[in-house]
């Protein structure tokens, strides 16, 4: 089956099951981001506040504490078929991911990724 046929089959499936692919993708990204944030150790709150969403481009820079995060706005603009990045650009985030903090000895993002398929299945089931 070529890419064109696959796309048509997917579209027919979505129409048949009445699933809105954009909604499923938005919900999955929201769930993943929330999971990563909840797992992120909190000392000052900066690491948790710096999880950013990028659509078709990886976010750059960091967000100052209390500077606000446009993740919810970014999520609202997600369309199925694009590339979505959940990124944290703080210089010490990798150390936290590798278990540097006793609050998250097994990391944050890697644990959320392990739940990915379950999140997708649950969100798709909700919308059927």
Give the CA distances from residue 49 to residues 43, 67, 86, 87, 118, in Å, rounded to whole numbers and listed in that order.
11, 9, 12, 11, 25
Q: Which of 34-38, 97-101, 121-125 has the lowest mean pLDDT?
A: 121-125
Q: Is the pLDDT of residue 65 over 60?
A: yes
pLDDT for res 48 = 93
DSSP helix/strand/coil, 62: coil
Could you tell me the pTM of the whole model?
0.78
Per-residue pLDDT, averaged over 64-88, amounts to 86
**Banded model confidence at residue 89, pLDDT cuts 50, 70, 90:** very high
Helical H segments across the chain, by residue range: 3-17, 21-39, 46-49, 71-76, 93-97, 109-114, 116-126
pLDDT for res 57 = 94
Distance CA 48, CA 60 (A): 16
């Amino acid at each position: 089956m070529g890419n064109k046929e696959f796309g048509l089959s997917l579209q027919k499936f979505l129409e048949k099951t009445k699933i809105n692919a954009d909604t499923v993708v938005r919900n999955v990204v929201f769930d993943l981001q929330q999971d990563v944030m909840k797992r992120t150790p909190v000392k000052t709150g900066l690491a948790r506040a710096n999880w950013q969403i990028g659509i078709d481009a990886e976010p750059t820079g960091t967000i100052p504490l209390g500077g606000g995060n446009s993740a919810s706005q970014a999520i609202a603009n997600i369309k199925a078929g694009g590339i979505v990045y959940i990124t944290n650009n703080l210089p010490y985030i990798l150390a936290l991911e590798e278990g540097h903090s006793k609050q998250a000895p097994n990391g944050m993002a890697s644990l959320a990724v392990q739940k990915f398929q379950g999140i997708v299945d649950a969100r798709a089931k909700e919308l059927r």
